[in-house]
Structure 1
Amino acid sequence: MMLLRSYRLLLLLSMVLGVAGCSLLPQAPLYQLDGGTLKAPSARTGVVLLLGPLTLAQYLQREVILQRQTDGSLTETDAHWAGSLQEDIDHLLQRQLASRLHTPYVLSTASSGLPADAQLLVTISRLDSGPQQPAVLHAQWRLLDKNGQLREQRLLQLEQTHSDSLASQVQAQSRLLQQLAEQLAVDVSEFSRQSAGNASGTRPVPPLPRKSVPTPKPPTTPATGAAEVYRF
């Protein structure tokens, strides 16, 4: 009987110590993209835009945050994304496009309801940074009309400097995605104005200025906001 009581006491003590040890372990930091300061659309009408499918490079489809090294390799950190990075990017682009296009109707491919006036298919083949590497975004998109016909197709390359900390890198990546949304909004705006005469039930989107892109030169250090846009 004494042996049984001693065994139970040891078992209880080990459980208590195990729980206490787990509570003392350092928690992995979690990060989430910054969607920026947005103005909610006040109008109840506008272009109906379907965003997606959104495709991410396979190396981005993980919870752990990767760091780009000077030799081009990628290494894991102790930090994680707070949820699905793909869903986070999808929501960021939706909110940015709705604000920039002044329309409440930016839907994901998983949404059902209104028939879309246009559809954006977006592929992000690179989104990363490192302690000594700028944040870099490589993206491609196709703009389809309501009949599924290709109306525009582009490639985009962006760089953004940061202050080396992981929090600063996540902010830099967020700014790159906001710049991507800006370019997407320009294409949708132009398409909406061109097809306004034939489309029914939509409100033409005001024209958005397209930023001029200088001829890229080999930089010695990455320039903040340096962009390359290719139309094909």
Structure 2
Amino acid sequence: MISLRLPSVLVLTSLLSMVGCVAQQPVTLYQLDSGNPQMPVTNKGVAVLLGPVSIADYLQQQTLLQRQQDGSLTPDTQARWAGTLGSDIDQVLLRQLASRLNTQRLVMAPGAAGFVPDVQVELTISRMDSGPQQPAVLDAQWRLLDRRGQLRDSRLIHIEEPHQGGSADQVRAQSVILRRLAEQLAAAIKPMSEQPIAEETRKPAAVPAPAKTPEPPQIPKAAPVRQQTEVFRF
């Protein structure tokens, strides 16, 4: 009986060892890189409300996804985001816009009490991914609103960046396309910040003239009739 059980024990031990090796494979954590933007030192410049910033549902997970040649997405079992991708995107855009617009007056939506923005940026990112043989791709749309909430600009964006295939270089390429998005956003915001928005001039409502009291009909006055008489003397 011992000789029969020994091979089974060896097989079970080998399987457990393999499972242990797989479970112990190191997982690398990544963050998007905002570059080296120069931060403004004064609290002046255009006031920007960034957001809401919406990202596609498939990007709201910690696993780093890999775009395949057939368009499918597969998880990278050895690479994850160090935190949430949405938070990384917000921070890269904030720092890049602050540097390019030379302003510290940037707030994420929904904003803060007393903060009145000159420009509001509504951004939707429908795609931001890459793969071993696929470039980093960003598809997005922005809407720029002025301080009265009126739409001033709307644009669809498509940006690509090549890479060397590894996970680290894919994250670098995704950081680059996000910084290029911020560059285009800043270029669209600058004309709005440089041109003052004319306030609406309100004309006072015209006050109707008071109705005139009808005057009584004028009765012509009778003029005295003078009769000339002649006196004859004999």
Instruction: Answer whether TM exceeds 0.5 for this pair.
Output: yes
Q: Report the Cα distance in structure 2 between the residues aligned to 1:87 and 1:95, rounded to whole angstroms.
A: 12
Secondary structure of the structure 1 residue equivalent to 2:160: strand
Offset at residue 42 of structure 1 (A): 2.1
Task: Kindly indicate whether residue 57 of structure 2 is the aligned counterpart of residue 58 of structure 1.
Answer: yes
State the partner residue of 1:164: 165
Task: Kindly indicate whether residue 94 of structure 2 is the aligned counterpart of residue 103 of structure 1.
Answer: no
Offset at residue 195 of structure 1 (A): 2.4
Question: Map of 1:47-196 to 2, 5 A cutoff?
Answer: 47-78=46-77, 79-113=79-113, 114-195=115-196
Q: Report the Cα distance in structure 2 between the residues aligned to 1:35 and 1:103, rounded to whole angstroms.
A: 17
Secondary structure of the structure 2 residue equivalent to 1:164: coil
Task: Kindly indicate whether residue 31 of structure 2 is the aligned counterpart of residue 32 of structure 1.
Answer: yes
Offset at residue 32 of structure 1 (A): 0.3
State the partner residue of 1:14: none
Offset at residue 110 of structure 1 (A): 4.1
Relative to structure 1, the CA distance from residue 44 to residue 53 in structure 2 (aligned partners, 3 Å threshold; closer, same or farther) is same
Which residues of structure 1 form unaligned runs of 5+?
1-20, 199-232
Q: Report the Cα distance in structure 1 between the residues aligned to 2:36 and 2:197, rounded to whole angstroms.
A: 29
Is 115-124 or 24-33 further displaced after alignment?
A: 24-33
Offset at residue 45 of structure 1 (A): 1.0
Offset at residue 196 of structure 1 (A): 6.2
Q: Report the Cα distance in structure 2 between the residues aligned to 1:190 and 1:174, rounded to whole angstroms.
A: 26
Task: Kindly indicate whether residue 43 of structure 2 is the aligned counterpart of residue 44 of structure 1.
Answer: yes
Which residues of structure 2 form unaligned runs of 5+?
1-19, 200-234
Offset at residue 26 of structure 1 (A): 2.9
Offset at residue 184 of structure 1 (A): 0.5
Q: Report the Cα distance in structure 2 between the residues aligned to 1:138 and 1:34, rounded to whole angstroms.
A: 19
Secondary structure of the structure 1 residue equivalent to 2:50: strand
**Partner amino acid for 2:187?**
V
Q: Report the Cα distance in structure 2 between the residues aligned to 1:84 and 1:133, rounded to whole angstroms.
A: 23
Using the size of structure 2 for normalisation, the TM-score is 0.72
| Deviation readout 1:94-116 (Å, 9 max, x if unpaired) | 01000000000111014414211
Q: Report the Cα distance in structure 2 between the residues aligned to 1:60 and 1:108, rounded to whole angstroms.
A: 20
Offset at residue 173 of structure 1 (A): 0.3
Structure 1 residue runs of 4 or more that deviate by more than 3 Å after TM superposition: none
| Deviation readout 1:169-199 (Å, 9 max, x if unpaired) | 000000000000000101110111122676x
**Partner amino acid for 1:44?**
N
State the partner residue of 1:13: none
Q: Report the Cα distance in structure 1 between the residues aligned to 2:180 and 2:198, rounded to whole angstroms.
A: 29
Instruction: Tell me how many residue pairs correspond in the alignment.
Output: 177
Q: Report the Cα distance in structure 2 between the residues aligned to 1:162 and 1:43, rounded to whole angstroms.
A: 37
Secondary structure of the structure 2 residue equivalent to 1:90: helix
Q: Report the Cα distance in structure 2 between the residues aligned to 1:196 and 1:53, rounded to whole angstroms.
A: 23
Q: CA RMSD in A?
A: 1.7
| Deviation readout 1:145-186 (Å, 9 max, x if unpaired) | 111110000011011000111100000000000000000101
| Deviation readout 1:64-111 (Å, 9 max, x if unpaired) | 010000111100111110001001101110010000000001110144
Offset at residue 44 of structure 1 (A): 2.1
